[in-house]
Structure 1
Amino acid sequence: MAASKPTPPDPRRRHDPRTPDEELLAAELPTVTGQYTDAQRVERMRAELEMGFAALTGTHRAVSIFGSARIPAGDPTYALAREVGRRLGEAGFDVITGGGPGLMEAGNRGAQEAGARSIGLNIELPFEQSPNAYQDVELMFHYFFTRKIMFVRYAGAFVVMPGGFGTLDELFESLCLIQTGKVADFPVLLVGSDFWGGLLDWIRAQMVTRGLVSPGDVDLLRVTDSIDEIVAVCQAAADRQWATGAGTSTGSG
């Protein structure tokens, strides 16, 4: 008996992708309407990388601040992120955030208040992400991966405020780059022991105990509640990066 042919998808159920990332990653699905050829997608990626490189050339001694878009201006964590951005700016750092609302806005706002260069790497999303008003350099990215390159290439440290899945994605991607030696001497500071302490406990209890990561890998993360410590760690790392040639006129990559 011959195998039956699969039922073709109902063309009425096809939909236009909501984001460029969906257009790229789901382009082969019969339910998604393709908008570009692969050659056009590659060109779009190239143009996006070129845009970021051109806009951020000369950025150095920068720190990327990550955190939730959902925390409003009246929240104490917003005030903390704003003060972190201000103190880093006063210490001579450019400040890079994801360019959106919440704690991203707070970091950009603090940097501007210090007279530092405030950079926002915005991303097209169907919800939540809208550019904040405190950016000296406001870039818009279609693809998460091109945006992530800019976060690491032009910063020498990550300061991670409380956040959701997006913040965790940025955190663990940076850890993977450090663990595998793709970037060197790159501190990752988790701000808020109440928020982050349980994550480190879980990493030790599950990952380290099972041999999935080395005990020393936990030391790649530093939990702090002190802005003085954040600034001191970022300054020391920047000095070492430049002394050893890890930093360049275009950042750490």
Structure 2
Amino acid sequence: MTKKKARQQQGPVLRRRDQVQSTTTDQRLLQSRGATDWVHADPWRVMRIQAEFVEGFGTLAELGPAVSVFGSARTSSDSPYFRAAQQLGKALVEAGYAVITGGGPGIMEAANKGAVQADGVSVGLGIELPFEERLNKYVTLGINFRYFFVRKVMFLKYAQGFVVMPGGFGTFDELFEALTLVQTKKVTQFPIILFGRDYWQGLLDWLEKSVEADGYIGDLDRGLLHLTDDVDEAVAIVREHAAKVSRAEKAAAAEKERAERNAAEKGD
């Protein structure tokens, strides 16, 4: 009878007595037999989530200035909003921005189409859904995600602003997530533009007459939203915010330089 080892070192883990295992980590890794339920377990999902973050960060890290455009996948190509989204995608590229959408049809396809027509970077961040939905043909840089929350991080992390066209629950979700992050200062200097006065005015009225009136938000919170029907105005708002951020960063850098110079002079 083989005597069981009294001590076993497995990477950073030390095992003694009855905790010693009879096989090595490599043996268990290379063994092809056994149950496969583990691929659906939470620890394995954590690895998939991590992989999606790594893939997204690696793909978009060098994207440069970008704007996320949201809106309904159900918008038909003969809709005025489809045409406006296409014009918006083109105008954003001409202003020096990449265009990020959810990569689907409708408003998303229109914005991606406009970006491609202007020879810009047209990003599509797709999502796995019960019904098959491929990235639209105007996406030049696309990633498909399993998890909504990973996808949302990519929309926010790599954009300098949101333009929100008419849409349904998914559009509302993205809108209010962005609003919450700006309100709580998790992200700063992030313009949120509602495109389509007829569509969004009712929401703004409700926020003022019900939500703000009952004290659930303040008047400054409503000011986080910009309402327009004009593509050029939407692009101008994004550019004005970018210029404001640039001025603030330069002022902060100058103040830091002055403080360091004063400290050095006092040290002398």
1:175 aligns with 2:179: yes
Deviation (angstroms), 1:115: 1.0
Query: Aligned with 2:208: secondary structure?
Result: helix
Aligned partner of 1:204 in structure 2 is: 208
1:40 aligns with 2:44: yes
Q: Work out the CA distance in 2 between the residues paired with 1:108 and 1:189.
A: 18
Change (3 A) 1:56 1:242: farther
Q: Percent identity?
A: 48
2:75/2:107 contact within 8 Å kept: yes
Q: Work out the CA distance in 2 between the residues paired with 1:220 and 1:150.
A: 21
Deviation (angstroms), 1:243: 4.1
1:159/1:190 contact within 8 Å kept: yes
Q: What is the count of residue pairs matched by the alignment?
A: 214
Q: Work out the CA distance in 2 between the residues paired with 1:57 and 1:222.
A: 28
Q: Work out the CA distance in 2 between the residues paired with 1:245 and 1:38.
A: 42
Matches within 5 A, 1:1-253: 36-127=40-131, 129-245=133-249
Aligned partner of 1:249 in structure 2 is: none
Segments of structure 1 that go 5 or more residues without pairing to the other structure are 1-32, 247-253
Q: 1:82-133: per-residue Cα shift (whole Å, max 9, x none)?
A: 0011111111100000000000000100001111100000001113733100
Q: Work out the CA distance in 1 between the residues paired with 2:145 and 2:168.
A: 20
Farther-moved stretch of structure 1 (41-50 vs 74-83) = 74-83
TM value normalised by structure 2: 0.77
2:67/2:97 contact within 8 Å kept: yes
Change (3 A) 1:128 1:86: farther
Aligned partner of 1:24 in structure 2 is: none
Segments of structure 2 that go 5 or more residues without pairing to the other structure are 1-36, 251-268
Deviation (angstroms), 1:185: 0.8
Change (3 A) 1:160 1:81: same
Change (3 A) 1:36 1:245: farther
Change (3 A) 1:128 1:102: farther
Change (3 A) 1:227 1:128: farther
TM value normalised by structure 1: 0.81
